[in-house]
Amino acid sequence: MNVKDVRAVLFDLDGTLIDTVKGLTQLVNLMRKDFGKPPLSEEIVGRYIGKGMLVLVRRAMTESMDAPLDDQIYQLAVKSLFLHTEKGEYDKGTIYPGTKEVIQSLKKKGLKIAVVTNKPYNMMLEVLEQAGIKDLFDVIIGGDSASSPKPSGAPVLLACEKLGVEPGQAIMVGDSGNDSQSAKAAGVACLLVSTGWSEGIPLSEIAKRDGAEAIISTLSEVSKFIG
Ligand SMILES: O=C(O)COP(=O)(O)O
């Protein structure tokens, strides 16, 4: 990749900009309580994060990555999770150290900045606002903003279109295979950061599979890859 040509950086949210596992675990456990189920640990819920809230509901109810769930129970569980979310009964997350500074320094270099998350749009706004970074982004794409969420290429392509850059001029930064697969499908380069969760799959495996540029341990390293 010719990093000198990068004009936009697209960031994933959960596990990349903000540590949100505490709040998501709280919501999952409030939902499970409504069904008389015992709480799950943050470690378990962390593995279930990545494909958006609807998949999180199914995984948390079945305690499995891909087991099916009876449709009637699924509908009730979705209702329960969204009710607790609307009531704001969750911790809004902790911004990773250096996140704001990295974004500000990229902006100073003239780069456009976007969030491309699988979190529902409204929930994402609350989380970004609480972290004090909402106004730093030129474009904000939620899990319900494009025709389909990550790992489809649609949200990454939509971000590029809204930013007015070609996919070859953008780089995605994320913590899971959903980010790298979405970037790859859209023709966008990708960096993987190891602060988050990757559905229990080692990042090295994901990076190899999707041809990611590199695995970085903190967001501060992003600048090294931009000319
Ligand atoms: O809500 C999720 O499951 C993941 O959200 P993310 O795309 O910001 O990682």
Q: Which of 60, 86, 112 is the last residue of a domain?
A: 86
Over its C-alpha atoms, the chain yields an Rg (Å, rounded) of: 17
The 10 Å Cβ neighbour count of residue 223 is 13
Tokens 């890859």 belong to 225
pLDDT band at 2 (very low <50, low <70, confident <90, very high): very low
Residues 14 and 38 in one domain: no
Q: Which of 10, 11, 13, 20 to mutate to test the pocket of ligand 1 (most atoms within 8 A of CB)?
A: 13
Residues 97 and 26 in one domain: no
Report the DSSP pairing between strands 189-193 and 214-216.
parallel
Report the DSSP pairing between strands 18-19 and 8-11.
unpaired
Residues 131 and 205 in one domain: yes
Ligand 1 mean position to 164 CA, how many Å? 24
pLDDT tens-digit map of 123-135:
999 999 999 999 9
Residues 108 and 198 in one domain: yes
Residues 68 and 14 in one domain: no
Q: Is 12 a catalytic residue?
A: yes
Q: Which of 14, 65, 81, 197 to mutate to test the pocket of ligand 1 (most atoms within 8 A of CB)?
A: 14
Determine the residue type at 216: I
Q: What is the mean pLDDT of the chain?
A: 96
pLDDT band at 4 (very low <50, low <70, confident <90, very high): low
Average pLDDT score over residue span 152-159: 98
* Residue 202 exposed, middle or buried by CB count within 10 Å (0-12, 13-18, 19+): exposed
pLDDT band at 87 (very low <50, low <70, confident <90, very high): very high
Whether the predicted pLDDT of 92 surpasses 90 = yes
* Best CA proximity match to 56, nearest among 172, 168, 199: 199
Average pLDDT score over residue span 148-153: 98
Residues 52 and 154 in one domain: no
**Which ipTM value was assigned to this complex?**
0.95
What's the CATH number where 154 sits?
3.40.50.1000
Residues 69 and 127 in one domain: no
What's the CATH number where 61 sits?
1.10.150.240
Global pTM exceeds 0.90 = yes
Ligand 1 atom, smallest distance to 149 CA: 7
The 10 Å Cβ neighbour count of residue 141 is 26
Q: Which of 39, 68, 86 is the last residue of a domain?
A: 86
Is residue 95 helix, strand or coil? strand
Among 12, 14, 175, 179, which one carries the catalytic annotation? 12
Residues 150 and 219 in one domain: yes
Residues 130 and 195 in one domain: yes
CB within 6 Å of ligand 1 — which residues? 12-15, 49-53, 56, 117-119, 150
Given a contact cutoff of 8 angstroms between Cβ atoms, the answer to whether 174 and 193 are in contact is: yes
Ligand 1 atom, smallest distance to 176 CA: 9
Helices (H), the chain: 21-34, 42-48, 53-62, 71-86, 99-108, 121-131, 154-163, 177-186, 203-210
Ligand 1 mean position to 14 CA, how many Å? 5
* Residue 62 exposed, middle or buried by CB count within 10 Å (0-12, 13-18, 19+): middle
pLDDT band at 226 (very low <50, low <70, confident <90, very high): confident
Q: Which of 49, 82, 137 to mutate to test the pocket of ligand 1 (most atoms within 8 A of CB)?
A: 49
Average pLDDT score over residue span 38-60: 98
Residues 51 and 129 in one domain: no
Domain of residue 152, residue span: 3-20+93-225
CA atoms of 157 and 185, how far apart (whole Å):
9
Residues 97 and 199 in one domain: yes
Strand partners, 191: 173, 214
Q: Which of 70, 86, 102 is the last residue of a domain?
A: 86
User: Would you say the C-alpha torsion 145, 1, 113, 10 has a positive or negative sign?
Assistant: positive
CA atoms of 207 and 100, how far apart (whole Å):
25
How many folded domains does the chain comprise? 2
pLDDT tens-digit map of 171-217:
999 999 999 999 999 999 999 999 999 999 999 999 999 999 999 99
Determine the residue type at 19: D
Ligand 1 atom, smallest distance to 150 CA: 7
Tokens encoding 16: 């990349």
Residues 51 and 79 in one domain: yes
